[in-house]
Structure 1
C-alpha cells in the first residue's frame, strides 16, 4: 500500500496524558491502548477521514512517533508502523552544510598620506589629460605583510578603487579646482604592474602565504594631478563632490563587503593652484594697408605696403606665450600667404604677416602645444605684454588685377 508519510520525532519523553487527554478509565474492555489513543485523538481533535492522525507507543520504549497518512483513493488508512523509519530519521537530523567565510582583510594598515607642493602654477589652456603634478610614496606597513583570510586567496576579489560601487576603469577623481582631477596607481608588492583606479583583481592571482594574500615587497602609490578642462585657480582638496570620499585618494578593498587593508589620503587646502595665462586686450584688430600701384608688385613674391600693428596682452609673470594665426577664409591654409576674402576685387595678390623679420605661416585654430605653425611670442614679465607684427601685400601667381584687397585672420594664444 502506498502512502505519503510525514514523520516527526519527539526528542523528550512525554507522558501519555500529555499526548492524549484520555485516561485509562476511558479505555474500553478488550481495546488496546494504541486503538484507544487513536479513537481519543479523533474525538478530541475531530480528525479528518482523509488525513487521519495516529499516535503509536512503541513497545518497550518511552519515545513516541507521530505521523500523517494520506491514503490513495480507495485504500484503507490502516496504521503504518515505523519499523522502517531509521533511514528517514537519519535525514531529519542532518545539519546544513557550513558556509565558507567571506573574503575579508586580516589586518588594517591604516592611512598613507600623500601631498603636493605648496604652490602649483598651471597654464590656463593646458591640454586635457596632461599631468601637472605627481607624487609617489611608500604605502605604510605593506612589505612582507599578509593582509587577507584564506578565502581571498582562493575565491575572493581585491579592489583598488576611489570608492565602493561599480568598478570604472581609468577613473579620474575630482578636486576642488576647476579643470583639475587626479589619478592614482599602485605598484610593487607583487601586484601585476601598475594598478590604476579602478581595478578589480582575483585574489587567487596574487601572491599568497598559506592560502592568504600577502605583499612580498613594498607597495608604492603614485598620484597625478591631471587636466580635465579649462583650468582655474584655488586651494586643492580631493573629492569634494562626485563619487569619491572627501580627502581620500583611494581604498585597497579586500573582498566585496567594503572592508579595506589600507587607504591613501591627502590633506585638504595645503596646495594653492594658480592658473597662469594672459588676457588679450586687443581681441579685434583692424589693419589698414596703404593703397599701392600695381607696378610695385611687378613679379611673383614681390612685397609692398608694410604696415605695423600689435597684439596687446596682460599676463602673469613667467607665462610663456605662443601664437597661431589661422586663415579665416581657408582653415586648411598652412602657407605664409593669407588668402583674400570674397569681398576682394583684386587678383594676383595676397597678404603676409611678419614677426621680427620672419614671415608667419598659418595653421589650425588650436592652443595645443606643437600646433602647425605655432610660434613663440616670448615669456611675460608680468603686466602688459605687446607683440609687434607687420602686415604687407605680396604678389602671387596669376595675372595681377588692381582692385580692393580684403583678408581676415584669427589668432589663438597658447600659454605654456
Structure 2
C-alpha cells in the first residue's frame, strides 16, 4: 500500500508564521495520487495477465481424453471350473484370458491420455461399494451373486505392463482386457452359472469415455474336498542333552520328521492346499515357535516346525480365510483328487537364558484352506 506524507512547510522552523500552504499541499497530493493509481493499475494488469495465463494453460492439461468410438468385440467369457469349497477371497481361476475390445470408429485420444478400466455389478455405473474379498485390487462384482472378476487393462495381447490403467495417444482401435482370476465371496451350488460383467473405461480425470459395455460370463462350480487322514499326530523329539542349548536361538539336533496326510476327491482343476498352524497354549501367537503347554516342566524352550524346504512355519489364528496370518502353502491337488502329503519337521529352540530340564510338550492345530 502507498502512503502519503503530509507536506509540512519548513518555514515554521525559522520563526515565520505557520500558515498552511493549501495550494502547495494540494499540489503535492495531486502528484502522489496518479502514482498510486498507476501502481494499482499495473498490479491489476499483471493480475489479469497471470489469470489469463492460467486460463489459457490449464484446459489443455485437464482435457487429456478421448472422443468418439464405440466398444464391441469378443464373446462370452468362460471362467472355467472352480471349487465350491474354495475359501472366501480365493483366486479360483488359474489361467488368464486376453479379451479384445475393439472401437469402431476408433477412439481419438490426445497425447498423454491415461485410460482406466473399472467394473460393476450392473449398468448403473462403476462399482463404488465395499472393497473386494480379501482386498484384492482391480476386482469388481459380476451379476452373479458372490462372484467377483479381477481384471486389468493392457495395450497388447501378451498382457505386458498390464494394470488398472494404460497410456494411449492418437487413434486407438483396440485395447485388451485381461481377466487375472475370479474371486469367490459367497456360497455356490454345484453346477453351471452365467451372468454379465459390466466394464467401463474412464480417463484420468474420471470422465467416462464410452457407454458401459457388457461381457457375458459363464462357468462351472464343482465340489472338491480333502479329508485329513492323520487327525492326531504325536511327534516325539526324544531326550535332548542340555549341552545342545548354548544360548538363545540354539536348536536341538536332529530334527524329527512327520507328515500331514490328506485324501482329496472331486473333479476340479489343479488347486492349492494352504494351511495354518495355531498354538493351542496361546492362540494369539504369531511367532516362529510353539509355546510349551502349561503342564511342561522344562523352561525357556519352544518348538519350531519347518517345511521340507527348511522354511520356518509361523503360527496364526484358527481360520481358513485366504492370506490368514502365517498361512503356508501345503501342496497342489491334481484334477480328480488323490492322496496328498505335507512333510514337516520339528525341533526345540532355546528362547531364554535359563534352560531347565524336564518335559517339554507343545500342542498345535491344523486348519486347511483351498485355493
Question: Please, what TM-score do these two structures have when normalized by structure 1?
Answer: 0.44
- Where relative contact order (Cα < 8 A, 6+ residues apart) is larger, the structure is 2
Q: Which has the larger radius of gyration?
A: 1
Question: Please, what TM-score do these two structures have when normalized by structure 2?
Answer: 0.48
